[in-house]
Chains A and B, each alone.
Chain A
């Protein structure tokens, strides 16, 4: 059933839902929402399964017209949200009538806005996931959304809509603290740079997409002649090429890479990566794997109350 028609697709809006797991050994990235936390919360607000497919809108420029009566919830980056000229509060469940026009503009903080529609959106499932991976045209509708695209409803409503607890709604900031563990090649950094990695502010560079995001700052000293053998990497892995500028891998990250892996962002903080925006400040904070697990357990407990299993994100 047709639920909405795209009018302004924005920069590279895509359908994202459950990640594509279990195929990294064949080179297949994880995909799924770059900020899976926001999409899962928006889904729960409209009564969907937490991993139902929604729209990811990088850059926050978007409009569409609804064709049926439904409910939506919008979360993620801070932007101007209007439904047929009425302002929309992020994180609330908003009833929609046929002919209503959603307009998203004026991105303030953060990078990506998420729209969840009750029932979820229909997408082509490939290797167990409906999420879009543009380089291989997997999932979604096989490409970024375009003007005139009609999106159809899936069947992922599992509960009544619910109000989201205020303490779970964290508006994006321009300063990010990302906790991380030492990466496999942390020792390739000079002793000074091993210290600097956690003692300085980095700036998010304009080199940013769903595969990764660069950090700017005084170059780190890395002992590498570009001869490292390709080794496994994951979303949240921080690589440091010979030039000394760290690069954080995101949801669509390649599965292997040949640059030293200096750190690994902890699972509980990986959702923040989808909201990093050029010019933002990033501070890395060193933690042990045991401490990372305690953080994840606390986050899992908070999300369990609204029916989000953190392991699925």
Chain B
């Protein structure tokens, strides 16, 4: 796995997929060397204090992860059911996306709710989840929406995205859930976790 030093305090390791990235992130977290460890789809990025740890130390840890390339991700219990209102005001781009895929909207909903899917990574904003999609290669909107309501579910680049906060967003929207995905007033504000299984259900 290739290690790249980006700047004096940031480095990345290329990973074969997100599940390997999550396993690597757990190992790196246990070292206590890094302030931030961000597993993504094709890499894990780390940020560290270069005045406290040397690049030689960091490189040694990052270069010693090959044994994890084939470690299975931990399976996390039964999938969390997420009830979704597809189409209409809640999913204003449903018909357009179905058109781009050359299928009917009912088929699109059937495919999206067919089986449990895994959360590949968390990112973008607090509690936003990038979820395994149905392989639908639909483009992002040319113009992002200025406001996407919290709970909206978008699809782009083969994935689904769950918007945890109201705010700007560029993914075509197919539905919305009432489930609170992030509540900053709670001690543990997050509903979802990278690696977790979820199941969409149409209501």
Q: Which residues of A come within 8 Å of B, CB atoms?
A: 21-29, 126-127, 133, 135-138, 180-184, 226-227, 229-232, 234, 236, 254-258, 264-267, 289-290, 292-293, 296-297, 300, 310-311
Contact = CB atoms under 8 A, between A and B. Distances in A.
Interface string B6-45: 1111101000000000000100000000011111111111
B123 A255 contact: yes
A297 B130 CA distance: 38
B148 to A, nearest CB: 12
Given A183-B6, A311-B51, 15 more contacts: A25-B37, A25-B122, A26-B122, A26-B126, A27-B125, A136-B125, A184-B12, A230-B121, A234-B10, A254-B124, A264-B7, A265-B7, A292-B8, A293-B8, A293-B50
25 contacts: A23-B126, A24-B36, A25-B37, A26-B122, A26-B190, A27-B122, A27-B125, A29-B125, A135-B125, A135-B167, A183-B6, A229-B40, A230-B41, A230-B157, A232-B44, A234-B10, A254-B124, A256-B38, A256-B40, A267-B8, A289-B55, A296-B9, A296-B51, A297-B51, A311-B49
Contact of B45 (A182, A232, A254, A292): A232
Contacts of B38: 24-25, 232, 255-256
A184 B40 contact: no
A137 B35 contact: no
Interface residues on B, range: 35 or more
A130 B89 CA distance: 36
Interface in B42-88: 42-45, 47, 49-52, 55
A311 B100 CA distance: 49
Contacts of A234: 10, 36, 45, 47
